[in-house]
Amino acid sequence: MALGPAALHLPPGLSGPIGVALSGGGDSVALLHLLRAAGHRVEAATVDHGLRPESADEAAAVAADCARIGIPHRVLPWNHGATVPGNLMEAARLARRALLSDWAAERGLVAVALGHTADDQAEALLIGLSRAAGIDGLCGMRPDWTTGGVRWLRPMLGITRSDLRLWLAGQGIGWIEDPSNGNDRYLRARVRKALATLSPLGLTPDRLAASAAHLAQARAALDAAVAEAAARVCHEEAGALRIDAVGFAALPGEIARRLLRTAILWLTGADHAPRAAALARLAQAVVQGRDATLAGCRLKRGWLARQPGWPDPRWQMAVPPGLERRALGAEGLRACPDWRATGLPRHVLEVTPALWQGGTLIAAPSAAFGLRTDATCTPAFGAFLLSH
């Protein structure tokens, strides 16, 4: 088998220990060994979801395999209680990402690598088609992104699952088969079986993955157009956006929709944007100069800001001992005699951070009041556009 470390697609200049999300399945096991063969320092972590009786034993077996070859390993248990409300697979995904993020930060890892393959890309494309998805839902998974201060990599999106297993067999390396992969209760398992019937038509995993990659290139061109449009029609200040209604109305519909979609994600920190119909209503409100609310955001007088009562982790602000940081609010704004001189509307200032001592306002940087202190909203909207 010609497959080897050179088949991995890793960003240039990656230096330092790389974490591997190691389930024990063939994909993640192959990733671990390929990274190691490429000369990278690796550590591994296995998330024990506790959803099957044998999961703890499997995690222990993976830990033992890592110990035999001298790779630091950690088992990360998901303590979810007796029941998991809502979508089980989505809850498990979010829990896995949070546990791995905490582990990566603790260990000082430069990135966490995930074992997704060309087959996963093909399956994602088919799932997107089944949901009548637009271009974002048909681009497959991102190969490289940063969220929550952690860099995530998918170096094997160009390699098929079958090639990885042939390589592992040739190296004499074993792996664990997860029975849920064949459980028709899960959509991805059903799609995986459907792929086998599509291959005779030329719809093989590698070709479908190539189509997803082409669509991702088209999305990148759209994203560049959105960033250029945002620079013309949006003005960022105090963690909010002032949108020029005339310039916004002149944008192509898809560019306008994507701009608002990214603005909502930037303002709220949410993983998923509102549905297209809701975004269309918000876009219409921008053009018509009407007030509107959506997904924890408020559009008023052309300014799009967070609604009161929603915590805003974007703000970086030093808090001296004895003081507390919380939103300025309507009460705090009344204590700022010069807030109108800032040129910012009331609903924007009310959700900016302030320093309080009990019920007494000490500082409100965005409203030009009190103790001199810096408050920075990060990332800036322009930087967020480029990373999303």
223: left (phi over 0), alpha (psi -120 to 50) or beta: alpha
**Torsions phi, psi of 317, nearest 5?**
-155, 125
**Torsions phi, psi of 178, nearest 5?**
-80, 120
Tracing tokens 């630091």 back to the chain, one arrives at 72
Distance CA 309, CA 313 (A): 13
Distance CA 33, CA 28 (A): 9
For helices 161-171 and 26-37, the axis angle rounded to 10 degrees is: 60
Helix (H) / strand (E) containing 340: none
Neighbours of 203 (CB within 10 A): 16
Cα-based distances in Å from 205 to 7, 188, 202: 17, 14, 9
pLDDT in the model for residue 1? 47
For residues 265 and 388, is the Cβ–Cβ distance under 8 A?
A: yes
pLDDT in the model for residue 86? 59
pLDDT tens track of the chain, all 388 residues?
A: 468 888 999 999 888 999 999 999 999 999 999 999 999 999 999 998 877 778 888 899 999 999 999 999 999 998 865 565 556 777 888 889 999 999 999 999 999 999 999 999 999 999 999 888 888 889 989 999 888 789 999 999 999 999 999 999 999 999 988 777 767 777 888 998 888 889 888 999 999 999 999 999 999 999 999 999 999 999 999 999 999 999 999 999 999 999 999 999 999 988 788 888 999 999 999 999 999 999 999 999 999 999 988 778 889 888 999 999 999 999 999 999 999 999 999 999 999 999 999 999 999 999 999 888 888 988 899 988 877 7
Q: In what order do the strands lie in the sheet with 353-357?
A: 324-327, 353-357, 360-364, 369-370
Helix (H) / strand (E) containing 388: none
What domains does the chain contain, in order, with CATH numbers?
5-211 (3.40.50.620), 235-307+383-387 (1.20.59), 315-379 (no CATH)
pLDDT in the model for residue 269? 85
For residues 214 and 139, is the Cβ–Cβ distance under 8 A?
A: no
pLDDT in the model for residue 83? 61
Helix (H) / strand (E) containing 298: strand 297-300
CA torsion through residues 170, 171, 172, 174, sign: negative
Distance CA 219, CA 139 (A): 8
Cα-based distances in Å from 155 to 38, 42, 109, 220: 12, 14, 16, 19
For residues 5 and 38, is the Cβ–Cβ distance under 8 A?
A: yes
| Cis peptide bond N-terminal to 85, omega within 30 | no
